[in-house]
């Protein structure tokens, strides 16, 4: 029998997922409506001052006042900032936003716990030849697209757990983010840009995967062959595995 806390967590996750699916199609229309209301409010405020003011101010003077005020740098920056924040909000909902760290697969996390090549298997089911690099990162850390491309697969990837795979626009490279969150924000066929947030690092333990052979020391199912939260990042060039550090870069990491 599933423990009550796990059952509650599973139910909560499903309810939140369903709620997001229901709300998602209406978010952009709501934002557009709010912007429209804001614009109308601004216009009507000007007209109210121009026509209904008790002092019967001259319309030309009032409009000249507004033109002068909104020509000031501060006001321009405020307007610009408002629309940038709206766009940022929308983009984060549908694409996860953008990262400034466009040449590194996990935003803000740089500790490599296992390098490409031969190694001792850290846990049952893990390979003795490491196909990529392991980047230690807490659950929820943002995964960054390292080059323009297209999502070719999202889902359960065996020892890699929940995995996102992207192919570069020219078809030369395929790069995978393993042990990711099952709450995917990209889908197969979606075009993605370098620097785009395409997912998050997943939890160590996952539930609901049929015939998941991977377990921790307590017998709980894990997100593939893993001993903790991290991103296993691999790159294939023309079908052959290569050391990801030949492609991804971060100052101080060799």
Say yes or no to pLDDT of 80 above 60: no
Helix (H) or strand (E) holding 88: helix 73-94
Is the pLDDT reported for residue 51 higher than 60?
Answer: no
Question: 0.75 cut: is pTM over it?
Answer: no
Contact 141, 106 (CB under 8 A): yes
pLDDT of residue 183: 95
**pLDDT tens-place string over residues 126-158:** 567 789 999 999 999 999 999 999 999 999 999
12, with CB counted inside 10 A (0-12, 13-18, 19+), is: exposed
Per-residue confidence band for 234, with pLDDT thresholds at 50, 70 and 90? very high
Query: What is the arithmetic mean of pLDDT over 84-92?
Result: 51
Helix (H) or strand (E) holding 12: helix 4-51
- What does the domain layout of the chain look like in residue ranges? 4-94, 112-246
For 159-186, what is each residue's pLDDT tens digit?
999 999 999 999 999 999 999 999 999 9
Domain 112-246: which CATH class? mainly beta
Is the four-CA dihedral 15, 21, 25, 31 of positive or negative sign? positive
Report the 10 Å Cβ neighbour count for 6. 13
């Amino acid at each position: 029998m599933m423990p009550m806390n796990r059952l509650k967590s599973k139910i909560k996750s499903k309810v939140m997922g369903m709620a997001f699916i229901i709300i998602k199609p209406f978010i952009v229309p709501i934002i557009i409506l709010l912007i429209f209301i804001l614009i109308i409010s601004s216009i009507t405020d000007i007209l109210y001052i121009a026509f209904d003011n008790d002092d019967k101010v001259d319309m030309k003077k009032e409009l000249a006042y507004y033109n002068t005020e909104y020509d000031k740098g501060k006001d321009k920056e405020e307007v610009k900032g408002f629309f940038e924040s709206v766009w940022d909000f929308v983009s984060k909902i549908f694409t996860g936003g953008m990262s400034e760290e466009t040449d590194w697969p996990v935003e803000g996390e740089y500790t490599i716990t296992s390098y490409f090549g031969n190694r001792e298997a850290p846990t049952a089911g893990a390979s003795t030849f490491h196909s990529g690099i392991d980047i230690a990162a807490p659950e929820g850390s943002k995964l960054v697209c390292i080059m323009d491309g297209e999502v070719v697969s999202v889902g359960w990837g065996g020892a890699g757990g929940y995995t996102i795979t992207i192919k570069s626009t020219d078809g030369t490279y395929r790069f995978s983010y393993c042990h990711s969150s099952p709450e995917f924000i990209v889908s197969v066929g979606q075009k993605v840009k370098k620097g785009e947030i395409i997912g998050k690092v997943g939890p160590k333990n996952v539930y609901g995967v049929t015939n998941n052979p991977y377990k921790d020391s307590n017998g709980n199912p894990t997100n593939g062959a893993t001993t903790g939260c991290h991103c296993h990042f691999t790159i294939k060039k023309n079908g052959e595995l290569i050391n990801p550090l030949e492609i991804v870069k971060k100052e101080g990491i060799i």
